[in-house]
Structure 1
Amino acid sequence: LEHLKQTKLFQCTCVRCSDPSEFGTYFSAMKCSGFNKELNCGGMLMPENEKSWSEGKWVCNKCQGSVETPRILNIVNRCKMDFEAMEKTNEQHCNKYIQHYSRWLSPNHHYIVDVKILLSQIIGGGSPDAIKRIPEESLMNKIKICQELIALFQKVCPGKRR
Structure 2
Amino acid sequence: LPLRRRYDTFANFRPVYLPKEIAHFSPLKPEIIGDGVDFIIIRELVGGLYFGKKETGVNDAGRRYVNESLEYDEDQIARIARVAFETAQKRKGVLHNIHKSNVLKSSVLWNEVMEEVGTDFPDVEIKHILVDAAATYLCLNPGQFDVMVMENMF
Q: What's the TM-score once normalised by structure 1's chain length?
A: 0.25
Higher strand fraction: Structure 1 or Structure 2?
A: 2
* Structure-2-length-normalised TM-score: 0.26
Query: Quick check: which has more Rg, 1 or 2?
Result: 2
Structure whose residues are more often helix by fraction: 1
